[in-house]
Structure 1
Amino acid sequence: MLEAAWEALLIVLHPSRIGFMFLGIFIGIFVGLLPGLSGTVGMSLLLPFVFGLDPFVGMALLIGMVAVVHTGDTFPSILLGIPGTSGSQATIMDGFPLAKQGQASRAMGASFFCSMVGGVIGGLALYLTIPFARPLISAFSSPELFMLTMLGLSMAGLLAGKSPMKGIISGLLGLLIGSIGSAPAVAEYRYTFGSLYLSNGVSLPVVALAIFAFPIMITMLTNKGAVSNHGPLKRGVLTGVMDALRNKFLVFRSAVIGTLIGFVPGLGGSVVDWIAYGAAQKTVKGNSFGKGDIRGVIAPESANNAKEGGSLVPTLLFGIPGSGTTAILLGGLTLMGLEAGPRMLGADLPVTLSIVWTLVFANIFGALLCMLLIRPISKISMVPGEKIVPFLIVLLVLGAYQSNFSWGDLIVFVAIGLLGYVMTILDWPRPPLLIGFVLALSAERYYWISIERYGWSWISNPLVIALALFIVLLLSGGAIMKKFSKSVESGKGVSS
């Protein structure tokens, strides 16, 4: 294992792969600092460009971006009081009050350092999980893999926030869109309406771009004007780093919480920061959370980057996407000729280990870069949205068109984009739709293979039953954890 890790390190350190990793880091910071964008939008922007790339190069680009999104989202959260992504909501509670007190640099210094430490711990957790996962995943056949796809689909309810039923319906809609084209088990085409373009199904990059990025563009155009009216930033980055070092046990404890939550598909994203914040609030003595306590920044920022390493475990090793970002990552693996599951621990183990190294390096370099760019980036985040949207629209159109080089891609892009915008207006969750779309083909394939090989006897398989029970426990436990995070959030909202 150590020898394989060393070989993967040499691969990652190749100049071309380092260059793509830094490109991903810059894109991740840019996506994070713009309020309203997210890792899902950034991933959907990059996905069309990884088609046919060397897997090591493509993963360097994608993981480099994902690793630092929750580092870059600190800028709008602290400077503007607006969450850059869903994982930076709790940072606002004490980060924004610190900014209003003229201590924004201190808050960002602590945040970036904690993000770096949390990301490294998350990468280490991913590496340590590999030896234990190998014997388990090698025992999985088509029935167990079908149940794992069901586990991924069951995350739709957890990703829906207050309305699990909306999440389930959104996931079913994704399954419906994913079933367009040729059926894997029978020689027929579905929902093509006589269109040759639809006979190959709808392209994943087009769906990802449309469902997430398109609505954001419309929202940024409608919300005109700059948000921030803060004056020049004062110094204090090193003070924030020292604050984090003085609270090293809080940093480590919050990072472990983030990693463990990342292991559970569907929980990460919007709850990890609140759970870490609530745990810190209950355990830190003499705190003044909500009024500008630096420890209220340290806890959520340590957790949200560590979560990324934990969430890659079910994504890469079991093919279970727990969020929109990891769902698109699964699509990226497919575009590069890879498949999540046993191969990631066998023939494609070097790629898996390269992801671990990229995750660690990207968190370190991304945090250091953010510290150096605090002043210039704080100015960029004040640019009105209507001046940024034209540049992003060009990227969206190019990304959608290059999927199949067909005008049909642009038509589907607009159609699904309008669907995504309507879902945004009606407060319907969009990540479950993408998860349903990504898992549609594999769920159907594993189902038919199980029926053909084992009839209906596979239902009594002990591992299948165990996975079914785990799905029930996970959904019920996830509902409890969401209620806990919401109670903390509402409590802080009242106190502030």
Structure 2
Amino acid sequence: MLEAATAALSSFADPAMLLYLVVGVVVGLVIGVIPGLGGTGAVAVLMPFVFVLEPNQAIAMIIGAVAVVHTSDVITSVVLGIPGSASAAVFLLDGHTMAKEGEGGRALSASFIASTIGGIIGIIGLTLVVPVAQPVVTAFGSPEIFMLIVLGIFLTAMLSKGNVVKGLVVAAFGMLLGIVGMSPISAEYRYTFGSEYLTEGIGLVAAALGIFGVAEIIQLVAKRSSVADRNVSLGKGWGRGARDVVKYKGDVLRGSGVGVGVGILPGVGATAGAWLAYGQAQAIGSRRKGARFGQGDPRGVIAPSAASNSIESGGLIPTLLFGVPGAAPFALLLGVLLMFGIQPGPDLIEQDLDLVYFIVWSFAIASLIGAVLAFFMARPLARLSFVSFPVLAAALIPLLFMSGFQEPLNLGVFYTMLLLGIIGWLCKVCDIPRAPFLIAYVLAIPLERYYYITVSAFEPTEWMTRPFVVIVALLLVVTVCVVAYRNIKAKKSSSDEDEDEDPAATTNEDGIHVPPFVGVAVTVGALLFFVAAFILAADFTPNAQLFPYAASILGLGLGAIALVNDIRQMRREGGPGRIEGAFKAQLRVVGISILWLLAFVWLVFLVGMYVGTAVFALAFLLVVARMKPYLAVIYVAAIVGALYVLEEFAELMAPVGWLM
């Protein structure tokens, strides 16, 4: 073990390796501060470079982004009161209060240092777990791994914020999209419809960027405003924040411990972990004199900061040891490993232990570098929130679509990304968690492979009664019961409120009321998709039918439950509702956004990436961003130049149009 750890550390004697790690860190810090994109967006943007790098270089870059994304998303929460991600919302309580009192620097300093310590503690936990877990992991057979994958997908859906049943429906949707292309069980293509593009499946980069990145752009691109509208004031107290971390070291350690524990459990996620850490800090700290939780107490920043980063490092444990990612960024990391033929689990521990420790060192070094850079980049990163979003989108749109193009090298991927972006936006509107989709998509092929091996090698009574399988099944049952009880209790509390209150007060995560018929329409669309998938599977061979049938039936059953819930909700609200108010305004914005994206896609199809980007960006900046013509021309030249640099020096491929 020591030899493997030393060999992994020696890899960073190569300056190029450190350079790739730093690139990942910088991208993670920059993307992490943009609300909505977060860690998944940062990793997805870097995914195209995987195809032109050596395995260790690509892994170092991806780990660099994952390690620091929760370091930078604190900035907008503290300074502006706008969460950079869902997990960063906890910093509104004390961090933003401190900033309003002129101590934003103190809050950020404490957060950066605590998050670095939390990440390192999480890595230490992973290092200690590897030798202990090695005999357990190597004893796992296909039934155990199959059940772990099922557990990861179900827990992600059931414990994510939003509609639990529809979270499971979107997971089934992700499973079916994940098996498009060549079957791992039989030498035949599935769901390709004769398309050469689909024979290799829907690219992981395209799926991630579509469901997350494009979905955010669709919602924001037509708004002529910035994320924030107040002056940046980081305030004072940078040194005092460092002293706070030393003073409240117990909160750092407890927050880190909570983070590691949450990270190990697939599906719980950074948001729950951050609030759990805040809760335990408040429970312990409130008994002490001078506690000001909710009014600017530094412990309200320190504990969740330590937890947020230790969750990411703790999340490496199930990802590497069992091949079950606990969150969307780790699903992408798992996808990178699988691209290089690296299968997490028993084989990785037995044969590639040095790679495990390479990832460990990458995370630890990235955490340290990220903390140092965050101090210098805090002010300029915060200022990103004051840039009009259309100005950012003019550069983001070509970058996202060019990134998605790299895996299939087929322009058909542009339509896939746009369609998934629309689906991702519908998920946001209907309060459906999107992480289950991506995790199910990545795990679809491993899940099918282990499912086939399990049902082929074991009798049902044999594999279902294995001790670990029974434990996982019981854990699933307990989780379902807890979630069901929580939902029933929440509904009962809601029904006990004033009966005269407007029933249309139910809103989505953006605070916008969505008419009930929209949820019904989305569910019906999902049911039709599963029916079509089931019918089309009839043309496959018996072995290739097994998993599509199982996923389709699962989706139909869950979709039926979701439809019943939607109809009940519609009755409670007195009918299907009407498109009006804020939702009508949002639809107008989304419609304009989709038309602009379609215009970009068609331009690239017609005249290629460079000319298409230039024409699109210039028109977009003049019409939507309302930028002055000479500034627009300069900015467009910079965007096209950046794409050229990516093609020449990063070896990315630019799409060629029909005419040029």
- Letter of the 2:333 counterpart: L
Q: 1:324 aligns with which of 321, 328, 340?
A: 328
Range moving further from structure 2, 324-333 or 468-477 = 468-477
Q: In structure 2, what is the Cα distance between the partners aligned to 1:461 and 1:231?
A: 58
Whether 1:35 and 2:35 are equivalent positions in the alignment is: yes
Q: In structure 1, what is the Cα distance between the partners aligned to 2:488 and 2:39?
A: 24
Whether 1:113 and 2:113 are equivalent positions in the alignment is: yes
How far is the alpha carbon of 1:480 from its aligned partner? 8.5
Q: Which residue of 2 aligns with 1:235?
A: 236
| Local SS of the residue matching 1:460 | coil
Which whole-Å deviations, capped at 9, do the CAs of 1:194-245 have from their partners, x for residues lacking one? 2232222211111111111101112332443231413543332111111111
How far is the alpha carbon of 1:430 from its aligned partner? 0.9
Q: Which residue of 2 aligns with 1:344?
A: 348
Name the structure, 1 or 2, with higher relative contact order (CA <8 Å, separation 6+): 1
Q: In structure 2, what is the Cα distance between the partners aligned to 1:412 and 1:20?
A: 29
Q: In structure 2, what is the Cα distance between the partners aligned to 1:346 and 1:396?
A: 37
Contact 2:156 2:327 in 1 (8 A): no
- Letter of the 1:150 counterpart: V
How far is the alpha carbon of 1:163 from its aligned partner? 2.0
Contact 1:153 1:171 in 2 (8 A): yes
Contact 1:8 1:351 in 2 (8 A): yes
1:482 to 1:200, Cα distance in 2 relative to 1, 3 A: same
- Letter of the 1:320 counterpart: V
Contact 1:87 1:269 in 2 (8 A): yes
Range moving further from structure 2, 293-302 or 367-376 = 367-376
1:341 to 1:231, Cα distance in 2 relative to 1, 3 A: closer
Whether 1:390 and 2:391 are equivalent positions in the alignment is: no
Q: 2:464 aligns with which of 434, 459, 462?
A: 459
Whether 1:415 and 2:419 are equivalent positions in the alignment is: yes
Which whole-Å deviations, capped at 9, do the CAs of 1:427-461 have from their partners, x for residues lacking one? 21111111111111111111111222223332222
How far is the alpha carbon of 1:323 from its aligned partner? 1.3
Q: Which residue of 2 aligns with 1:216?
A: 216
> Between Structure 1 and Structure 2, how many residues are aligned?
485
- Letter of the 2:74 counterpart: T
How far is the alpha carbon of 1:168 from its aligned partner? 0.7
Which whole-Å deviations, capped at 9, do the CAs of 1:83-130 have from their partners, x for residues lacking one? 111221111111111111111111111111111111110111111110
| Local SS of the residue matching 1:85 | coil
Range moving further from structure 2, 65-74 or 9-18 = 9-18
Which whole-Å deviations, capped at 9, do the CAs of 1:170-190 have from their partners, x for residues lacking one? 101111211222323234332
| Local SS of the residue matching 2:160 | coil
How far is the alpha carbon of 1:421 from its aligned partner? 1.7
How far is the alpha carbon of 1:329 from its aligned partner? 1.2
1:185 to 1:197, Cα distance in 2 relative to 1, 3 A: same
Which whole-Å deviations, capped at 9, do the CAs of 1:357-403 have from their partners, x for residues lacking one? 11111111111111122333333332221111121112111111111
Contact 1:63 1:359 in 2 (8 A): yes
Q: In structure 1, what is the Cα distance between the partners aligned to 2:120 and 2:485?
A: 29
- Letter of the 1:462 counterpart: P
Q: In structure 1, what is the Cα distance between the partners aligned to 2:482 and 2:257?
A: 19
How far is the alpha carbon of 1:477 from its aligned partner? 6.1
Q: In structure 1, what is the Cα distance between the partners aligned to 2:273 and 2:467?
A: 32
Equivalent positions of 1:87-236 (< 5 A) are: 87-226=87-226, 227-236=228-237
- Letter of the 2:121 counterpart: I
Which whole-Å deviations, capped at 9, do the CAs of 1:36-81 have from their partners, x for residues lacking one? 2210111111122212532211111011001100001111010111
Range moving further from structure 2, 104-113 or 410-419 = 410-419
Contact 1:149 1:439 in 2 (8 A): yes
Q: Which residue of 1 aligns with 2:304?
A: 300
Q: Which residue of 2 aligns with 1:494?
A: none
Whether 1:470 and 2:471 are equivalent positions in the alignment is: no
Q: In structure 2, what is the Cα distance between the partners aligned to 1:61 and 1:269?
A: 21
- The percent identity for this pair of structures is 39
Which whole-Å deviations, capped at 9, do the CAs of 1:305-360 have from their partners, x for residues lacking one? 11111111001110111111111111111122211111221222111101111111
Contact 1:71 1:366 in 2 (8 A): yes
- Letter of the 1:147 counterpart: M
Q: In structure 2, what is the Cα distance between the partners aligned to 1:326 and 1:158?
A: 18
Q: In structure 2, what is the Cα distance between the partners aligned to 1:12 and 1:344?
A: 21
1:42 to 1:475, Cα distance in 2 relative to 1, 3 A: farther
Q: Rg larger in 1 or in 2?
A: 2
1:53 to 1:235, Cα distance in 2 relative to 1, 3 A: same
Q: Which residue of 2 aligns with 1:13?
A: 13
Q: In structure 2, what is the Cα distance between the partners aligned to 1:259 and 1:244?
A: 19
1:223 to 1:79, Cα distance in 2 relative to 1, 3 A: farther
Q: In structure 1, what is the Cα distance between the partners aligned to 2:292 and 2:237?
A: 20
Q: In structure 2, what is the Cα distance between the partners aligned to 1:79 and 1:150?
A: 40
Q: In structure 2, what is the Cα distance between the partners aligned to 1:330 and 1:120?
A: 21
Contact 2:162 2:432 in 1 (8 A): no
- Letter of the 1:472 counterpart: V
1:223 to 1:274, Cα distance in 2 relative to 1, 3 A: farther
Q: In structure 2, what is the Cα distance between the partners aligned to 1:480 and 1:49?
A: 45
How far is the alpha carbon of 1:476 from its aligned partner? 5.0
Q: In structure 2, what is the Cα distance between the partners aligned to 1:201 and 1:228?
A: 43
Range moving further from structure 2, 158-167 or 87-96 = 158-167
Which whole-Å deviations, capped at 9, do the CAs of 1:128-160 have from their partners, x for residues lacking one? 110011101111122222112211221243343
Whether 1:435 and 2:439 are equivalent positions in the alignment is: yes
Note the residue ranges of structure 1 that are not aligned, 5 or more in a row. Answer: 488-496
| Local SS of the residue matching 2:426 | helix
Range moving further from structure 2, 456-465 or 86-95 = 456-465
Q: In structure 1, what is the Cα distance between the partners aligned to 2:239 and 2:340?
A: 41
Q: In structure 2, what is the Cα distance between the partners aligned to 1:483 and 1:370?
A: 43
1:374 to 1:44, Cα distance in 2 relative to 1, 3 A: closer
Q: In structure 1, what is the Cα distance between the partners aligned to 2:19 and 2:473?
A: 44
Q: In structure 1, what is the Cα distance between the partners aligned to 2:119 and 2:296?
A: 24
Q: Which residue of 1 aligns with 2:383?
A: 379
Q: In structure 1, what is the Cα distance between the partners aligned to 2:81 and 2:487?
A: 23
Contact 2:74 2:88 in 1 (8 A): yes
